Amino acid sequence: MELASARLHKGQISWWGLLLTALLLTTWSPPTTAKMTIEAVPFDVAEGKYVLLRVVNLEPGIRAFHWFKDNAERENELARYILAEKSNRSGMAYSGRESLYSTGSMYIHNVNKDDERTYIIQIVLEDYAMKRMNTTFHVHIALQKPSITANNYSPIEGGDSVLICEPYTLHTNYRWIRNGKSLSEGDRLKLSEGNRTLTLLSITRNDTGPYECENRNIVTTNRSDPFSLNIAYGPDTPSIFPSDIYLLQGSNLSLSCRAASNPPAQYFWLFNETSKASSQELFILSVTTINSGIYTCFVNNSGTGLSRTIIKTITVLEAVTQPKVYAINTTVIEEESVTLTCYSNDTGILQIHWLFNNHTLQLTKRMTLSNKNSILTIDPTKREDSGEYLCEISNPVSSKRSNPVRVVIKSLRAFQSNGNAAIMIGFGLVAGVALIAALAYFLYSRKRKTGGGSDQRDLTEHKPSAFNHNLGPSDNSPNKVDDVSYTVLNFRDQQPKQPASACPPPRAKESLYSQVKKK
Ligand SMILES: *[C@@H]1O[C@H](CO)[C@@H](O)[C@H](O)[C@H]1NC(C)=O
Ligand SMILES: *[C@@H]1O[C@H](CO)[C@@H](O)[C@H](O)[C@H]1NC(C)=O
Ligand SMILES: *[C@@H]1O[C@H](CO)[C@@H](O)[C@H](O)[C@H]1NC(C)=O
């Protein structure tokens, strides 16, 4: 009570004092001196530190000061100061830690909790009149650096964790800091026991910290050393690297399994449910098709007691063999059609694509792919379709290209200007002109003697081989360019093997080729 009023009094001086002074200045003549008081500086003292009991507005005409504690009894005198002698003397209660000054103030150093008492100054005036004033101060223990204890130093993800800031002291505030940020109660955070206990609810691997706790009273603030939780978690769903599921026969199988886990997980590999390895990596030298199957990675965390598995199906494939391109006609007149067939011995997951003059064939409206891309039909042809065609066949682990086939598209106009009336008939451009018809008939009958085409259509289809013969490029380059004759030969060779790639040969035209060959 006394302490409270002393503080209040001190506060009033500044506030009400000013107001009062202002009032006195305006309505009354001002007093010559302000009221003499005493105060403790600081009011809140840390144990072991000092305090100054200060006399404010010391009056003149003073003979001596006496300082007492508790009351002004002789046995409670701490010290006295005689102004005339400018000397001080210790009293019966002197502890050796008090010093007096000529200003009346007393200094106490190395303050302890027992010093928290009432201090009385007794002032002896010139006329031996006496004045007494008293004051006091608070002594607070200086807090020690705190430390953090936990109910579980290696908690498991999902559980709760309790951290306590030690030691417990009265009149102390506690504060928690995680990753440098002050914590307050939240979703998964509870504070209790005046913030001394921090409870982390359903912790995650991200709650590791570091944590610090701070204790604070009016005179000290201390922070603990950082503290981190070693949170056990996982294994999470494992992954297998690399992600390829197809392997080329003869290559090495090298699989690695990974799963987030603390402490680090143990790994095991199984192949078709037979144990293969107890390591994170699985290596098989030079695989064959017998290595195709289901690979299982089994992951176990001894810290959490949890385990997980993941499976991967691996298929070992042989490399594809070289495909071949067959064509009925590789030299045709503009507007006629060309059909190219890509043939392969291989089975399984195959992809076929076509190249034209060494670039991916850009399909135009006149081109169609059929039978899983194995048949390319250009209908009608144009002169710009002339060039080298080849097909590429691939499975997920390999690809091979056929030899190129040269396709020649002859200009219709050039053909007409040859004066070949048969062509004119063939295209229905000339009708009813007797002379030309006769010539046509003449030519037609000549052809029949050698070739034996049965109708008008045969005749026109027949023509290109004649050109082929004349131009002759394919005949002379067997390595680079497959020519028609070669193609036909191969075609007939392959026939009995019954290709599995579902590229049925164009049987309808078979007889015609034989005729061409014979010629
Ligand atoms: C506990 O901490 C909160 C801030 O997180 C604060 O508002 C509250 O006053 C503190 N309580 C005590 C008893 O110190
Ligand atoms: C941990 O933090 C990371 C990154 O912020 C986040 O992606 C992940 O989901 C968090 N994990 C958990 C279990 O909260
Ligand atoms: C397979 O592994 C062996 C041994 O590590 C190595 O010598 C060989 O070059 C590898 N083969 C392939 C195709 O990578």
Residue type, 369: L
204 Cβ closer than 6 Å to some ligand 2 atom = yes
Nearest ligand to the C-alpha atom of residue 286: 3
Ligand 1 centroid to 173 CA: how many Å?
A: 8
Band of pLDDT at residue 243, cut at 50, 70 and 90? confident
* Residue 71 in this model has a pLDDT that exceeds 60: yes
Whole-number pLDDT of residue 209: 87
* Residue 511 in this model has a pLDDT that exceeds 60: no
Residue with CA closest to ligand 2 atom 3 = 206
Mean pLDDT across 95-103: 92
Ligand 2 centroid to 204 CA: how many Å?
A: 8
236 Cβ closer than 6 Å to some ligand 2 atom = no
Residue with CA closest to ligand 3 atom 7 = 285
Query: Using an 8 Å Cβ cutoff, are 60 and 103 in contact?
Result: no
* Residue 15 in this model has a pLDDT that exceeds 70: no
Encoding tokens for residue 180?
Answer: 């440098």
Mean pLDDT across 178-198: 92
Query: Using an 8 Å Cβ cutoff, are 279 and 308 in contact?
Result: no
Q: What is the DSSP-derived secondary structure letter of residue 320?
A: P
- What's the count of helices (H) and strands (E) in the chain, helices before strands? 7, 37
Encoding tokens for residue 504?
Answer: 């049925």
Higher pLDDT, 442 or 149: 149
* Residue 442 in this model has a pLDDT that exceeds 80: no
Query: Which of 243, 287, 236, 288 has its CA nearest to residue 260?
Result: 236
Higher pLDDT, 449 or 388: 388
Residue to mutate (ligand 1; options 165, 172, 173; most atoms within 8 A of CB): 173
Whole-number pLDDT of residue 33: 61
Judged by DSSP in three states, 107 sits in strand
Ligand 1 centroid to 488 CA: how many Å?
A: 95
CATH of 38-140, one of 2.60.40.10, 2.40.37.10, 3.40.640.10, 2.60.120.480: 2.60.40.10
Mean pLDDT across 158-180: 93
**Which of 239-253, 432-446, 464-478 comes out lowest in average pLDDT?**
464-478
* Residue 430 in this model has a pLDDT that exceeds 80: no
Whole-number pLDDT of residue 31: 52
205 Cβ closer than 6 Å to some ligand 2 atom = yes
Residues 6+ apart with CB under 8 A from 170: none
151 Cβ closer than 6 Å to some ligand 2 atom = no
Ligand 2 centroid to 162 CA: how many Å?
A: 21
CATH, range 324-410: 2.60.40.10
List pLDDT tens digits, range 318-346. Answer: 999 999 999 988 899 999 999 999 999 88
Nearest ligand to the C-alpha atom of residue 231: 2
Residue with CA closest to ligand 1 atom 13 = 194
- pTM score of the predicted model: 0.58
Nearest ligand to the C-alpha atom of residue 254: 3
Tell me the sheet residues that pair with 437: none
Of ligand 1's listed atoms, the one at least distance from the Cα of 184 is 5
Band of pLDDT at residue 420, cut at 50, 70 and 90? low
List pLDDT tens digits, range 130-140. Answer: 999 999 999 99
Of ligand 2's listed atoms, the one at least distance from the Cα of 233 is 13
Mean pLDDT across 378-387: 92
* Domain extents in the chain: 38-140, 147-223, 239-317, 324-410, 428-517
Ligand 1 centroid to 120 CA: how many Å?
A: 38
Ligand 2 centroid to 206 CA: how many Å?
A: 6
Whole-number pLDDT of residue 63: 92
List pLDDT tens digits, range 460-502. Answer: 333 333 333 333 333 333 343 333 333 322 333 333 333 334 3
Residue with CA closest to ligand 2 atom 9 = 206
Mean pLDDT across 107-125: 94
Burial of residue 275, with CB atoms counted within 10 A of its CB: 0-12 exposed, 13-18 middle, 19 or more buried: exposed
Separation of CA 514 from chain center: 66
Higher pLDDT, 175 or 347: 175
Mean pLDDT across 443-460: 41
Band of pLDDT at residue 412, cut at 50, 70 and 90? confident
Decide whether 38-140 matches 239-317 in CATH topology.
yes
Nearest ligand to the C-alpha atom of residue 182: 1
As for ligand 1, residues whose beta carbon falls within 6 Å of it are 173, 184, 191, 194-195
**Which of 188-192, 235-239, 255-259, 276-280 comes out lowest in average pLDDT?**
276-280
509 Cβ closer than 6 Å to some ligand 2 atom = no
* Residue 121 in this model has a pLDDT that exceeds 50: yes
Q: How far is it, in rounded angstroms, from Cα 321 to Cα 323? A: 6
Band of pLDDT at residue 432, cut at 50, 70 and 90? very low
Across the chain, mean pLDDT equals 79
Whole-number pLDDT of residue 32: 56
Band of pLDDT at residue 28, cut at 50, 70 and 90? very low
Of ligand 3's listed atoms, the one at least distance from the Cα of 286 is 1
Whole-number pLDDT of residue 117: 94
Mean pLDDT across 301-306: 92
* Residue 454 in this model has a pLDDT that exceeds 90: no
Whole-number pLDDT of residue 457: 35
Query: Using an 8 Å Cβ cutoff, are 519 and 465 in contact?
Result: yes
Of ligand 2's listed atoms, the one at least distance from the Cα of 204 is 13
CATH architecture under which domain 147-223 falls = Sandwich (2.60)
Of ligand 1's listed atoms, the one at least distance from the Cα of 175 is 2
Of ligand 3's listed atoms, the one at least distance from the Cα of 250 is 13
Ligand 3 centroid to 250 CA: how many Å?
A: 9
Query: Which of 357, 519, 363, 400 has its CA nearest to residue 451?
Result: 519
Beta-strand relationship, 405-410 and 331-333: parallel
Query: Using an 8 Å Cβ cutoff, are 296 and 273 in contact?
Result: yes
Fold category of 239-317 in CATH: Immunoglobulin-like (2.60.40)
* Residue 75 in this model has a pLDDT that exceeds 70: yes
Question: What is the share, in percent, of the chain residues with pLDDT greater than 70?
Answer: 73
Band of pLDDT at residue 76, cut at 50, 70 and 90? very high
Of ligand 1's listed atoms, the one at least distance from the Cα of 183 is 5
Whole-number pLDDT of residue 115: 94
Residue 167, preceding peptide bond in cis (omega within 30° of 0): yes
Compute CA distances 268 → 233, 256, 504, whole Å: 19, 11, 49
